[in-house]
Amino acid sequence: MLADLHNHSCLSPCGSLDLSPRRILELGAAKGIKLLALTDHNSSLNCPAFSKLAPSFDIIPLFGMEATTNEEIHILCLFTNLDACLSFNEYAYSILTPFLNNPEKTGDQVYVDEEDNIEGEVEYYLINPIDLSVDSIGVKVQEYGGIVIPAHVDRPAFSMTSQLGTVVDGPWAAVECTRIPPALNGVPLDTLSFPLTTSSDAHFSEHVGRRPFFLDVEPEELQPGGKGTEASKDVLIKALAKRPRF
């Protein structure tokens, strides 16, 4: 199946206001994507609408966020269970740097229902770090029942390589890059033989589905309870483990 595990909505201040959960699913379905994750910056408040809408688009949803660590490294925190995701969301918000957002300067941070009606706006600026290090975030996400994937490790900003100079070991289910094999400034990256994925990191409509990847699993295996039910975390981890390694 075709998968894309990194997408932002109108909740992310750097994302387009017209990129609602519904719009992301519409665009993903048009590209043939069957497994789609919603990963706004440090928040999962658009995931309930995403969960309600996904079955009507024949898409298996994953829920989560792109968390920013103390080192300003972006890490995808992904959950198959919505309640677990929302519990981690509450924890992450409690340790987010308490800097008020100014929508006129830094962008709107709205969460919506399945009909695109605005339900609320997040008070603190979501681009700031949460109080977790790259060494601790994986363990914490696992405590809540999720998996972790370091984001865009081959980019010169907000990545392991930009902040630490290298990909570091951890409980990663995979490592995300913009291209395979990954390189930075023409120099191949050592990704420690972790499975590699690509994802769109969509912030605008035209970004959705620009870098999906193939996952070697049937939808019926990943969603054993049938359409509209929770995906299997164990099956997802096993499928990710089959991805290319360099």
What is the per-residue pLDDT across 206-216, written as a single tens digit (0 to 9) for each?
A: 999 999 999 99
pLDDT at 215: 98
Buried b (16+ CB within 10 A) or exposed e, 201-217: bbbeeebbbebbbebeb
What whole-number distance in Å separates Cα of residue 178 and Cα of residue 168? 18
Say which amino acid occupies 64.
Answer: G
CA distance 71 to 52: 34
Quickly count: other Cβ atoms within 10 Å of residue 42's Cβ: 28
Section 223-246 average pLDDT: 97
d(CA 235, CA 229): 14
pLDDT digits (tens, 9 = 90+) for 174-208: 999 999 999 998 999 999 999 999 999 999 999 99
Q: What is the pLDDT of residue 92?
A: 98
